[in-house]
Copies of this chain bind each other. A is one copy, B any other.
Amino acid sequence: MQKAGLFLSFCPPAWRSVRMVSSEMARRYPLANKVALVTASTDGIGFAIARRLAQDGAHVVISSRKQQNVDQAVAMLQGEGLSVTGTVCHVGKADDRERLVATAVKLHGGVDILVSNAAASPFFGNLMDVTEEVWDKILDINVKATALMTKAVVPDMEKRGGGSVVIVASLAAYTPFSGLGPYNVSKTALVGLTKNLASELAARNIRVNCLAPGLIKTNFSRMLWMDKAREKSIKEMMHIRRIGKPEECAGIVSFLCSEDASYISGETVVVAGGAPSRL
């Protein structure tokens, strides 16, 4: 009842012109007709972002490493009436990156948005125990592949006259998560990568920004919150009142990809429930 009332109190007048309606539609669907790639988007924060971009009007191509996960996620979002397709993509492989872009171009004629969310499974332990192999894998997937995925998508964005990239880093870029050294360092690098890409791609009308989520309840962060004692200690340490939900990271990404963010580039937005980050 209350919701119906809410609706009625905002019922727009009947005389609205086509122009007003289209302006309203633009506001309701700020990403209408945009084509978006989201990596690592069959679960957690990536999935929430993919759904939100689609809810906001985008055609979304989701992806991750396993066909089964892609199929499930696509089925779920299509079941919600959203324009979503998917393809397997291991961002560390050049062929996969190319195929992901090609899929979007073939299906939707181009690419406007890239959300780079893929990250290697984090190594949990002391920095003094980290081997060359661990560093290689984490820097490869989290830093190098992010740069190369962006590189792969830029030519098609340029053909569309511009675009928007959002890189998913982490609060840990600023305030290290204990026991996750290489992950933290790779995320700090992404904040720098964002600045560098933004500066270089401005001339092509491509904006590049970064999301730094705090402690969000996902499978990825399970090790941080599964053990109640550890969860409590992390929450105290980081002044966190509650753990965030993946959906709470999705709105800002859609915003950063929209025309509303036309003068925002090179910036990182921290979504961490007030945990200490930076000035």
Contacts and interface: CB of A to CB of B under 8 A. Distances in A.
Nearest to A254: B260
A24 interface: yes
Contacts of A270: 264, 267
B22 A195 contact: no
A199 to B, nearest CB: 6
A189 interface: yes
A279 B192 contact: yes
A125 to B, nearest CB: 10
The interface centre, meaning the residue of A139, A173, A244 with most chain B CB atoms within 10 A of its CB, is A139
Contact of A143 (B33, B148, B189, B272): B189
Given A148-B132, A266-B277, A57 B192 contact: no
Contacts of A178: 199
Contacts of A241: 202
Contacts of A269: 264, 267, 269
Contacts of A136: 140, 144
A184 B185 CA distance: 14
Nearest to A258: B251
A268 interface: yes
3 pairs of A and B residues whose beta carbons are closest in the complex = A188-B192, A251-B260, A3-B22
